Each structure stands twice: as C-alpha cells, then as structure tokens.
Chain A
C-alpha cells in the first residue's frame, strides 16, 4: 500500500470521529465501532484515489463501517447475548445519518473519553484517537512516547470503560458543572503539549495545537451555549495567534514583550477577540474566559509598551477570585510588577509556595535583575534552569542570567 495522501487522511480524520461515535451508539461497543471504521478507511484508501472522494464522505464512512460491523457480527453469529441481539436490531433498513443525533453521539463519546474515572493520560489518548481520529502512531509521535505505551493506554482505558460501566451519555444539566471542566482540561492539555513542546519533530507537535483548536471548535458547535467552551476556544485561538512570533528561526524562545508583533496572526486574533467580546456581553465569566480576555488585551497592543497592564491586573484579580491557585497568583504578580513596579511584584512572588516550579524562580530572577540585585538574580536563574524540563526554556534562562563579575 502506498502512503495515503494527506488530503485523504484529513478527510478521513474529520469523518472518523463522527463515524466512531455513531457506531458506538448503535453497537454499544467502542472496539467494534473503531475496527469497523478502520476497515472502512482501508476501503476508502483503495477506492477514493481512483473513484474520487464521495460527496458525503462522512455518510459514506458511517454506511461502509456499519456494513463491516454487521459482517463481523454475522461471522461471529454463534455468539449469544447483546451482540446477537444487536444484529437482529440493526439488520433493519439503514437510517440516514441525521445531523442532530450525530452531534449527540459525538458529545456522548467526548464525555466518555474525558470521564474522571479514567487516568489523565488515557483521557488525552482516547480523545485524540476516538474524537480527533488520530492513529496510535501519530499520538505516540506527538507525545514522544513509545507506540506500545499509547496502545496499552488505549486498551486499558477501553477495557475500563466496558468493565466499570462508564456510561455513554451526555451528563445531565446538574452534572455538567462538574463534568465539563474535565473535557475542557483535556483539550487544553492537548494544546499545551503542542505549544510548549520543543523537543522532537516540532511540526508533528505543532499539529497538536491544530487538533486542540479543532476539538474546541467541535465542542463549541456541540454546546453553543456553554460560556466556558467559548472561552477555551478564544483562549486557544489567541494563544495560537502568537505562534510564529514565539520562537526565532533557530528555535529560541521569544518572550511576549520581545515578540515581533507584526508576525502575530491577525485573523486568529480577530476571531478570538470576537469571541471574547461575545463572552463579555453574556457576562457569565469563568477561568477560561478570563484567560482569553487577558490574551485579548495583550493582542490589542501593537507594541509591548502599549499593553494595558491595569486591565490585565484587574482580570487576574477576577481570575484569582474564581481559581485561587499559586500559578495564577504568580501571573498576577507579574502583572502587578508592570503596574506597581518590580519591588511590589517581588513582594507578591515571595509569598508564594511554588519552590518546585521553574517559572516561579524565573519570575523572581527577572524581578531581581530589574531591581539590580544581580547576585540574587543569578542564584534564582540557576534554580530556574535546574528545574526547567525543556531545552529551549533552559537556553533562554541561561541567556538571561547576568554574567558573574
């Protein structure tokens, strides 16, 4: 078999998630659904290049996969129980793929994949595999883990879904406030993994950002009234808009104040800011919306010196009130240093219990350097370098460290 054309792979990926979700509902079995969709893809690889992509690729994949699943069940028809019943049930005339049930199918599967009873890395792998339609080797490459590790994670997670009885349903309204943040966190982590990555094939990792944005768009389509879903999408778009400016051609990190803002992606900014305005209008703030609003204020400033730090500080105050974590307090202290000077910022930083976090030391180091306390700054940079996990960040910190005199 030749390497599949990228366009074909993309079409497949975009339809696969929907197809797996629908077949999971019909057959009540994720593995069966997945295998059938994979088989349908193999058929597509054979036929599409010659016959052309069908007008409704998604519908084609669902129909083909459904036949494949039924074939499999018939072959194994000696089996008793649920699957035999399923054959009886769905040997009936084919339902046309409709829009709303399909959307519900996907939403159900998203909540299953991001269920809190699954380990965090399993949630990410399942979501990328079942919702985003990525293949196991692609996930392994993107997360720089061996393929068997990802495969095992997926197998284990799917077994737990089945054995523990993790349901395949959209949480009820009263459960949503608890369950939705888990889904948002998975998408955010996928994005972050792509965004902060420096090691490995950066192109592959960059794809994770695109996948996360695609997932956020999908979730927004499926849950258009959830303010935090909107907030997450805006946050990802606005963060991604700075992607080009964030590293030099040599791959070195460029901090926000030093970025060439002409390289920011204006289209992404316009889209992200539009969503933030919509959030403000609806006025149901949440942590993702507030982070998006902060990103929007940054993207308003054509030059770093024009940044409205007072507004950013006010947004961090609001964010800290909702989510009082030390990391948010650290970011608030950085904004405070811009408004009230590095001494005030340092005071706030020194009250935090974050000694294991490299950015805590990096922030202290920067403030100490600005205060002219070079010996202390050097020591803080050393602490930060010792804790930074990624080579780009380490190189950056080393370049900032004042030379010993």
Chain B
C-alpha cells in the first residue's frame, strides 16, 4: 500500500462561495469522507483555516524565531487535505477525482515516501 496526500488549494482573491454553495460542498465532502472510511482508504483529513492564521517557527543556532504568516508568500495556499492509502497511483487518482467533485475544486495528488512500517 502507498500513501498519498490529496490537497486542495485556495487561491487568494477568489470570492468566498455563497452560504448555500458552502453547505452543499460540506455535505458532499462529508459523504465522500464516509465512503473513504468504509472502503478503508482513509488515513486522515482536515480543512484548514485561512493562511493568514498561520505562524512560522524556526529553530536556528539555539534560538527560536517566530514570525507571523504562512511560510510561502504565494497566492495559492493549502486549504485542506486528505491522506489516503491505496494500491497505486491510478487508485489514488480515482479517489482524487471524487474528492475534486466533492469539494468542487482541483486536487493535487502527491505520494508519501515509502514507510516500511506500512505493510497492509
């Protein structure tokens, strides 16, 4: 089994969806999450608060520097993610397609480094 990160990115300046649209997406994602749990492909998932709530901590030469804001000054920031386990990329892409339909946005699929402790 391989693990994949499925991430959803928020693009700065995109208008916030209307309340009804948000509710629809939440319901879709919720149903999709339940499917993943039932099929056993679920590892973890979560939605994140906006990037301006992020803090960067850097331990360097015995000192800790803490700064406000996300690490990367990018227009696109990660907004939510799933961690799934599947047999191969095709299976992960199939799940990503369903994830994309549920959250109504593009989903990036990225493999984890192999973890020898995952044997199932």
Chain A residues with CB under 8 Å of chain B are: 115, 117, 163-167, 169, 171, 175
Contact = CB atoms under 8 A, between A and B. Distances in A.
A115 B92 CA distance: 14
13 contacts: A115-B89, A164-B89, A164-B111, A165-B2, A165-B87, A165-B88, A165-B92, A165-B111, A166-B89, A166-B90, A167-B89, A171-B90, A175-B90
B25 interface: no
Contacts of B87: 165, 167
Contacts of B111: 163-165
A167 B90 CA distance: 7
A117 B94 CA distance: 12
Given A164-B111, A166-B88, 9 more contacts: A115-B89, A117-B93, A164-B109, A165-B89, A166-B89, A166-B90, A167-B88, A169-B90, A175-B90
Interface in B104-120: 109, 111
A224 to B, nearest CB: 24
Nearest to B111: A164
Interface of B: 2, 87-90, 92-93, 109, 111
Task: Report whether over half of chain A's contact residues are helix, strand or loop; otherwise say mixed.
Answer: loop
Contacts of A175: 90
Central interface residue in B89, B92, B93, by most chain A CB within 10 Å: B89
A158 B93 CA distance: 18
A175 B111 CA distance: 22
A165 B109 CA distance: 11
A217 B89 CA distance: 29
A163 B111 CA distance: 7
Nearest to A172: B90
Contacts of B93: 117
B43 to A, nearest CB: 15
A163 B3 CA distance: 11
Nearest to A161: B89
Nearest to B3: A165
A164 B87 CA distance: 11
Contacts of B2: 165
Central interface residue in B87, B88, B92, B109, by most chain A CB within 10 Å: B88
A147 to B, nearest CB: 29
A169 B90 CA distance: 10
A81 to B, nearest CB: 9
Contacts of A164: 89, 109, 111
B110 to A, nearest CB: 8
Contacts of A167: 87-90
Central interface residue in B2, B88, B90, B93, by most chain A CB within 10 Å: B90
A175 B88 CA distance: 15
Contacts of A165: 2, 87-89, 92, 111
